Structure 1
Amino acid sequence: MEDQWAGKRALVIGDVMLDRYVWGEVERISPEAPVPVVFAQRRDDRPGGAANVAMNLAGLGVPVSLLGFCGKDAEAALLSDGLRVQNIHSCLVPVQSHPTTSKLRILGGQQQMLRLDVETPGGYPSEAFEQLLRQVDQEIEQADVLVLSDYAKGVLTEEVCQHAIQTARRRGIPVLVDPKHRSFARYRGATTICPNLQELSVATGLPKVQLAANLDLARDMVREFELESLTVTLSEKGIAVLTADEQMMAPAVARQVFDVSGAGDTVLATLAVAYACGLDARTAIELANVAASIVVGKVGTVPVTMTELMHSLMPEIDRKAEEKVLPLERMQTRVASWRAAGEKVVFTNGCFDLLHIGHITLLEDARQQGDRLVVAINSDASVQRLKGPLRPIVGEAQRARVLAALAAVDAVVVFDEPTPLEAIVALKPDVIVKGGDYTEATVVGAEEVRSWGGQVVIVPTVEGFSTTRLIARASEG
């Protein structure tokens, strides 16, 4: 999955904010009024609103440009610093007449006690919009997906929305919208609009409890506003995607919930990357559901990272053999996610040409040495250099695919060098396993793995089985 995301760029336009946090503990009630006293222990400032969508995209490894308005104040400087740290290309238009929108949250332990908002919605001068539209035209040329993140603070007027949507559609890139207005008319022509159930209820005029009726009207909106689909987040019920003709549902992934703030931004960012990669709607909403389940387990608007998403997807990846065969760079990311989860990584290698019982026994014994087994196999060119021009019998792609289908194997990497030393050094496994025809002194990478605290394990071989013998017997036959 990661390789499909490589090279994709996103453009986010919307209401940018600064999320400010004061963390502390509550030990008593104020004598001045019946309110808790929070003893402040630390403070934190994070990009929020549309900037949190950009932060989620950056966390997922996608380069992103961010357009919107800010004030000429200290909060703008803090916002700019936070975006710079995440390598987000910030193109915020400073407006003298407006403060940078900010939200101060005071938390006692894990509980939010108070929120203080500083903002002046709407009323931005015409010259600010003119500058914003010029930047839209410039930045959209490099984008693979456009996200409109509307918090109803005045940036995404109908003119801005339609200018951005029509420009994006002429370039053939998808447009995703997080709406905040009662009418979705200003988002006409977008690829998909992504309201939560409350926002959809406001748009339809029906109570939230009438879920089926709300979803039926949502399908009508797809036709009315010339959308490809409408994507509705339904909290614990999951996510629904509605087209003019059908409805798809992805149930929510169960996870303990600490804080739902920012979860919608996480869903939007994950959907945006999925659409940029051309993934189908079903896969897109399943990915978004997993990402949302991660973020609600955090406190505050904290983005999801690619490593976290990959780790949560690992059980599903483990069921698909084609997702186990990885180039070395992606294998490093996979191994890092296992290690972050406290899992012990085992490594073995070989040609594995004409898989036989000796190979299976080796792999099963190797898997018993830890939690995850990485198998490195020689490329076809490497096998030829080692065993002659008539080998391998089975090509590297087929050998890797067969190994990946085995329950004992968690991942497969192909190497072109005579030995797997480069892969061993890159992956830093906890254990290297080889068969009984080796000694520790003859195992490639033994010295290296011991240098970082790992170990070398020699397991017994099954006598009488080898690929060379199998080929010789076939030739005799």
Structure 2
Amino acid sequence: MDGSSLVFFDFPPRQGRRAVSLPPLLQAFKSMRPAKALVLGDMILDRYTYGNAQRISQESPVIVLHADDQELRLGGAANVCNMLKGLDCHVVAAGVHGRDESGSQMIELAQKFGIDTSLISCDASRPTTLKERFVGRAGSRHPSQILRVDHEKTAPIADWLVEKIYSGIENQIEDFDVILISDYAKGVCTPKLLQQVIQLANQHNIPTLVDPMRGHDYERYRGATLLKANRIETEMATGVPLNGVADASAAGSQLCQQLDLQDVIVTLDRDGMALVHRDGSSSHFPTQARSVYDITGAGDMVLAMLGACLGSGLNKEYSVRLANVAAGLEVEKSGVAVIPLAEIEAELRTDLLPGQKKIVTHQQIATLAEEHRRRGEKIVFTNGCFDLLHFGHVTNLTEASKMGEVLVVGLNSDESVSKLKGPTRPVISETERSAMLAALSCVDYVVVFGEDTPYELIKGVRPDVLVKGGHYIPEEIPGFDVLQEYGGEVRLVDIVGGFSTTDIIQKVAANETIRRTAA
């Protein structure tokens, strides 16, 4: 960055359109480059079993879960790796796994996501840390976790593994922009290994970021660049009750002095974050009010975003503010979710372009749709050109939104509109049409598609209800066969008479002709 203001246009530039300067935080975000990150810590595999939980066993007073789906996810330090990949970082993972099925599954999943697992060693004497969660659905209520079963061994790893992991890190140290330590107290983050790695990083001027275990002895993190601790962890490490931001600043300053840290970040859930420097100065970053659905993974998201930012060269203030935004997006989702850069940028642009965060890509809507399904929410899909948005469009969209909890609108791209309507269409560009649809309260997501039909988009969304206006034969509607495979339904709605984009354009042209003739 050369310090000059970046300039953007709300929509594709046209004559007379006013350019708007990007806010400093968005400028900083746009300047980020993909960082090369090492994540050292406890690699965990999360297994989720989903099902209906609507009856009690006759054998004993316990809930019976009728399982119908199972999912594997990366957890612990492995989840931090996955979140960094979502932020376009190059990621190397360092840790251990057992010689078991869970270990093989974790490595396979990590490699599928593009994570370098060459520094994850096998320890046949211990199981891969596995957390099994059983999640039940009951009626229309949100699914809830019924039980968690942990398979783990928390004793410190053997000295030979410490030396093996450190040797691997030492051989690659010059490749890293940042090192993240994710300590879940499962045995990998021994004092010896952490001190070796922190000292090595300091010798090469590589920042080390620590997400500590919950406990009283933080000596193992001595000399790190930055330690990120939540409210409870900070209280346990310092003995200082945190009743407000001032207490967090005092506790953070105490940790900096005791452990020779450059900075401490204290995360205060709804109260935001406090960034405390070694010299005792501090800053408070309040969080934006949100609908908190699930706090799981928020701490990992903060660490990952801090790593991506600091590894990219951003200063700590901007890094904390961006981590605050990313954590806010994380808690709005069910379970642990990867937050891509595009979603963070959309959040940052919300004040500039209201509704911008509703406009998503094909890949993003597939992930978001799965998220809503996990919550037990019904997804409705409809599509169209929506060139010159009019009363008929709004009426049908409002009606469609009442058929479920989430309305996804597929929007024909400019190119596909021209194919369907002729070379003079569309009148309004896809960027502007997207923004207008996103501004409607009844619309939850807008996705632009370039094909003649939204068939591939429907396959990705897998809606519960597909809505079309007009007198279609359901079997001939693109996507009908897709819905048939999993039990979705097609509903037809009546088109509001008297409203047509083509008619509006013809009326405008006729009026212009009359005006010119009269002149």
Q: What TM-score comes out, normalization by structure 2 length?
A: 0.62
Provide the residue aligned with 1:353 in structure 2: 387
Q: Which amino acid is 1:153 matched to?
A: T
Provide the residue aligned with 1:66 in structure 2: 93
Provide the residue aligned with 2:509 in structure 1: 472
Q: Which amino acid is 1:454 matched to?
A: E
Would the alpha carbon gap of residues 165 and 95 (structure 1) be closer, same or farther in structure 2, given more than 3 Å must change?
A: farther
8 Å contact from structure 1 (residues 353, 393) kept in 2: yes
SS in 1 for 2:229: coil
Is 1:458 the equivalent of 2:489?
no
What is the number of residues matched between the two proteins?
417
Q: Which amino acid is 2:200 matched to?
A: H
Once structures 1 and 2 are overlaid, which stretch shifts more, 211-220 or 407-416? 211-220
Is 1:200 the equivalent of 2:234?
yes
8 Å contact from structure 1 (residues 431, 455) kept in 2: yes
Provide the residue aligned with 2:38 in structure 1: 11
Provide the residue aligned with 2:52 in structure 1: none
Structure-to-structure mapping, 1:334-345, within 5 angstroms: 334-345=368-379
Is 1:272 the equivalent of 2:306?
no
Provide the residue aligned with 2:423 in structure 1: 389
Is 1:53 the equivalent of 2:77?
yes
CA separation in 1, counterparts of 2:472 and 2:110? Answer: 48
Deviation at 1:208, TM superposition (A): 5.9
Q: Which amino acid is 2:76 matched to?
A: N
Would the alpha carbon gap of residues 181 and 54 (structure 1) be closer, same or farther in structure 2, given more than 3 Å must change?
A: farther
SS in 2 for 1:384: helix
Structure-to-structure mapping, 1:2-401, within 5 angstroms: 11-14=38-41, 52-55=76-79, 57-58=81-82, 62=86, 65-68=92-95, 77=100, 80-81=103-104, 83-87=106-110, 89=117, 91-93=119-121, 100=126, 119=155, 121=156, 124=159, 129-137=162-170, 146-150=179-183, 151=185, 153-164=190-201, 167=204, 170=206, 175-178=209-212, 182=217, 186-188=221-223, 190=225, 192-201=226-235, 203-204=237-238, 206=240, 212-219=246-253, 229-234=263-268, 240-243=273-276, 244-250=281-287, 266-278=297-309, 280-285=319-324, 287-288=326-327, 291=330, 304-306=336-338, 321-401=355-435
SS in 1 for 2:409: strand
CA separation in 2, counterparts of 1:186 and 1:117? Answer: 22
Deviation at 1:375, TM superposition (A): 1.6
Is 1:427 the equivalent of 2:461?
yes
CA separation in 1, counterparts of 2:150 and 2:464? Answer: 47
Is 1:448 the equivalent of 2:481?
yes
Deviation at 1:399, TM superposition (A): 0.8
Would the alpha carbon gap of residues 174 and 405 (structure 1) be closer, same or farther in structure 2, given more than 3 Å must change?
A: farther
8 Å contact from structure 2 (residues 365, 460) kept in 1: no
CA separation in 1, counterparts of 2:150 and 2:509? Answer: 78
Would the alpha carbon gap of residues 231 and 376 (structure 1) be closer, same or farther in structure 2, given more than 3 Å must change?
A: same
CA separation in 1, counterparts of 2:420 and 2:447? Answer: 18
Deviations 1:97-117 (A, max 9, x none): xx6499999x9x979999996
Would the alpha carbon gap of residues 222 and 114 (structure 1) be closer, same or farther in structure 2, given more than 3 Å must change?
A: closer
Deviations 1:308-344 (A, max 9, x none): xx9xxxx999996111112222222222222333333
Deviation at 1:473, TM superposition (A): 4.2
RMSD: 5.2
CA separation in 2, counterparts of 1:393 and 1:304? Answer: 42
SS in 2 for 1:195: strand
Percent of pairs identical after alignment? 27
SS in 1 for 2:419: helix
8 Å contact from structure 1 (residues 433, 459) kept in 2: no
Would the alpha carbon gap of residues 326 and 473 (structure 1) be closer, same or farther in structure 2, given more than 3 Å must change?
A: farther
Deviations 1:342-363 (A, max 9, x none): 3332222222122222222222
Deviations 1:289-312 (A, max 9, x none): 6757989xxxxxxx72449xx9xx
8 Å contact from structure 1 (residues 270, 288) kept in 2: yes
Q: What TM-score comes out, normalization by structure 1 length?
A: 0.67
Would the alpha carbon gap of residues 100 and 336 (structure 1) be closer, same or farther in structure 2, given more than 3 Å must change?
A: closer
8 Å contact from structure 1 (residues 267, 292) kept in 2: yes
Q: Which amino acid is 2:336 matched to?
A: V
Q: Which amino acid is 2:492 matched to?
A: V
Deviation at 1:406, TM superposition (A): 0.6
SS in 1 for 2:453: coil
CA separation in 1, counterparts of 2:127 and 2:499? Answer: 74
SS in 2 for 1:246: strand
Q: Which of 439, 442, 457 is the matching residue for 1:408?
A: 442
8 Å contact from structure 2 (residues 380, 464) kept in 1: yes
Deviation at 1:210, TM superposition (A): 8.9
SS in 2 for 1:408: coil
CA separation in 1, counterparts of 2:367 and 2:286? Answer: 30
Deviation at 1:400, TM superposition (A): 0.6
8 Å contact from structure 1 (residues 54, 65) kept in 2: no
CA separation in 2, counterparts of 1:270 and 1:114? Answer: 22
CA separation in 2, counterparts of 1:377 and 1:293? Answer: 25
CA separation in 2, counterparts of 1:316 and 1:329? Answer: 20
Provide the residue aligned with 2:25 in structure 1: none
Would the alpha carbon gap of residues 446 and 117 (structure 1) be closer, same or farther in structure 2, given more than 3 Å must change?
A: closer
Q: Which amino acid is 2:463 matched to?
A: P
CA separation in 2, counterparts of 1:458 and 1:103? Answer: 52
